[in-house]
Amino acid sequence: MTVNDPEWRAPSEPPTPVTPVPFGKPWSIWFWGGLLSTGGLALAVAPRASLDLLKTSVEEPSLPWVRFAGLALLAYAMGYHVAGWTGQRTYMRASVVLRVFSLVVIGAFVLADWLPKAWLAFGLLDFAGAVWTTLELRWRPKPKA
């Protein structure tokens, strides 16, 4: 079927999620994707101000890399938005492991004086989101095939 086919019509509704979420949106995944998007946008657009909030100084030649990291964070956030849209439970479960591990890594970096203590807020927020997602996944039954 091609666009030149007279029978072809553009869909009037958005596509149905691959795995419907029975009780609505997985809010923890949407919330975390929103936080990552906000952080990525802030780093990409205003890296100096964003890093000042975290008590982190960066030399002028490093700013393009910070902006690039912000764009990478935006791309990473898209995974959360897509998982929320499609109800991909496997991605959500994998995100729980990654988000718990991030607190461990950030904590180790703070202990090694590689990051200021203000960064622990991200690790704790990440951990709280992982707990929220775990509870949400337990509360939401798997869709029946």
Q: Can you give the residue ranges of every domain in the chain?
A: 27-139
pLDDT at 22: 47
Tokens at 64, concatenated? 């393009």
Backbone angles phi, psi at 18, to 5 degrees: -60, -45
The H or E element spanning position 28 is helix 27-45
pLDDT under 70: residue ranges of the chain: 1-3, 10-25, 140-145
Give me the amino acid identity at 18.
Answer: V
Q: Chain-centre distance of CA 35, in angstroms?
A: 7
pLDDT at 89: 84
pLDDT at 15: 56
What are the Cα distances from residue 102, in Å, to 4, 76, 99, 122, 135?
50, 15, 5, 9, 19
